[in-house]
Amino acid sequence: MELYSLKMRASNSKDGIEKHISGAEKIVSEDNIGTYVEALLTRALHHSKGKANFINLKIEKVNKEDILYLDSLPVSTVQVDTYQAGLKRVVALLEQMNIANAKEIIKKINATYNTRGAILLDVDTLERLEPNQERGIRATYMDADNSSMSENIEVKNHYNEAIVLATKVAYAPNIIGEICISDDPDYITGYVASKETGYVRITKLKEKGSQEGGRIFLYRGELSAVPSCLDYLEKQKV
């Protein structure tokens, strides 16, 4: 059975300002395309960030031999009572990665909250490395090998999708980690992930009801290696 990549992104444009509503990545077998397309459309049209007035669906055939298989990162959970305590844990984890500017880095996360992409940040110079900052970087073409039709993808399972993305990103050349806070107003668990720390869920990283979230991919190394990092994040099938 042939495999197909399915990408959905939905936004709402008002007065010339585009607000990202929802996005999803799947790799599914040919005979499941219809079911997934329908589920993803439902998701785009019933989202807590609002109703989309623009939905982009892209369906492309994937060659099986182009897929890189990775074991998902080991997962741990840090329980915190407040999001302020959660953010302190993020700082501690970044310091464990020998990142000196942790507090300044966290402040940048909200810069992405209306865009569909992540920030690619040089952790040593704090320079943003995305070619287009309005768009950000989107890690794409990935799915869990065991994802099956028993999952209800009309309703997003934040954890299931994030562990796939975080695993792909952790293996990107020159990426030493990732920070994520959901932009969905009802979802306050976020994570820090890297090959060394694994996927560390932190139960509170923002106030409930806030749409301010985002992702930062933490880059370290020569700038000449940025293109191959971007190429992996945006094109490698995982």
Site membership for ligand PML, residue 189 (CB under 6 A): yes
Nearer to ligand PML, 94 or 213 (CB): 213
- Binding of ligand PML by 158 (CB under 6 A): yes
Q: Which of 5, 112, 114, 182 binds ligand PML (CB under 6 A)?
A: 182
By CB under 5 A, residue 25 contacts Mg ion: no
**Count of positions on this chain that bind ligand PML (CB under 6 A):** 12
| Stretch 161-180 residues interacting with ligand PML (CB under 6 A) | 162, 180
- Interaction of residue 184 with ligand PML, rule CB under 6 A: yes
Residue with tokens 């694994």: 198
**Phi, psi at residue 193, to the nearest 5°?**
-135, 145
Residue 4 touches which of Mg ion, ligand PML, none (Cβ within 5-8 Å per kind): none
191 contributes a contact to ligand PML by CB under 6 A: yes
Q: Of the candidates 25, 143, 161, 183, which one interacts with Mg ion according to CB under 5 A?
A: 183
- Return the residue of 20, 49, 201, 206 that touches ligand PML, per CB under 6 A: 201
Interacting residue ranges for ligand PML, rule: CB under 6 A: 158-159, 162, 180, 182-184, 187, 189-191, 201
